[in-house]
Structure 1
């Protein structure tokens, strides 16, 4: 029965992340606080809603600029896909596949950065390290890409499931980063 409380925390994290990421400028802090919420549950620390908002405030320090950059990074391939969909440009299928791959790669890097955030962490360094780790650990990146794919398919079929699925993707990000830490530094194997 240990899995049910973890799923409940994933659901809670999903709800809180959706609510706090609505302004889009708070996307990175919301994801980081959601990952920290899941990590706290796994580590036996406090998972109170008040603690989540404390984490959001801590993650927001210096996170507005990178969040705007991430949103802009997602907007470019999304705009390209909209243009491709409404025009019959030759080679549009290949360009659409590249745009989708770029968006998925950016999402993987953002999730990896959010999963490694801790209070006092600088977003530029976290994103740079996450990008490096996404290349060095292709298995973990593939796992996160698969989790994102499941999120897209499930919410495409039933949009309200975005909330619990987002929590599950956050849990996957935390698990992938813990796995990568164990693989690259066995002395810091964690729990």
Structure 2
């Protein structure tokens, strides 16, 4: 059997380098985790704890989004909660409530527009499927595409939102975000569609689905940083 060949250190991908660092840490030939520094996400120290916080983020989104008009704010609060956890910052209920108090009034207009657009697109899909509208197939396809675009824009804007800058700055950042990483935008769109399909097939899964959507919104941009 021919011996396995290892890629030279300079040609290794980020994933290969990470695996090599883990092997060296376990063998004792390299620095252990405590010697490597906290990294970009110092709060993500355990897989099970991370999974728990992802579920908590799903709870935050679900509860805040119950009035429907607060869906954009709910996604933003879930993203901010999970980001605080990953950065090892204070991430309790108090921080979520503080963001909620500061952002609820400024989010109502965005929530109303989102609700009206989403309802109109969903109605087009339903009527097109039923054959009520002329050109039903085209209407259905256009409706689904519109819903995917709306969901993607909403998730990207929610990731950029903060109580200090508000939704205007968050929405202005969306074109640059989508233009910089169109593949990442497709990933977000797939995540939105996955959550919608998951909820339609089994409604109780909406909770973990929302949490995973929040996690995906934070994880997708990390691809570009890892390549850099």
Change (3 A) 1:132 1:71: farther
What TM-score do the two structures reach when normalised by structure 1?
0.87
Give distance in 1, aligned partners of 2:221 and 2:117.
Answer: 23
2:121 paired with 1:99: no
SS at match of 2:68: coil
Show structure 1 runs of 4+ deviating over 6 A.
none
List per-residue Cα deviations over 1:129-165 (Å, max 9, x = no partner).
2144224421110110111122122222221010011
* Mapping for residues 16-165 of structure 1, pairs under 5 Å: 16-165=60-209
Give 1:16 shift. Answer: 1.6
Which blocks of at least 5 consecutive residues in structure 1 are unaligned? 187-191
Which blocks of at least 5 consecutive residues in structure 2 are unaligned? 1-44
Give 1:176 shift. Answer: 2.5
Give distance in 2, aligned partners of 1:172 and 1:179.
Answer: 11
More helix by share: 1
Give distance in 2, aligned partners of 1:168 and 1:152.
Answer: 12
8 A Cα contact 1:26 1:64, kept in partner: yes
8 A Cα contact 1:32 1:56, kept in partner: no
Give distance in 2, aligned partners of 1:163 and 1:150.
Answer: 13
List per-residue Cα deviations over 1:92-136 (Å, max 9, x = no partner).
112211111111111111101111122311212211221442244
- Structure whose alpha-carbon radius of gyration is higher: 2
User: Number of residue pairs matched?
Assistant: 184
What TM-score do the two structures reach when normalised by structure 2?
0.73
Alignment RMSD: 2.1
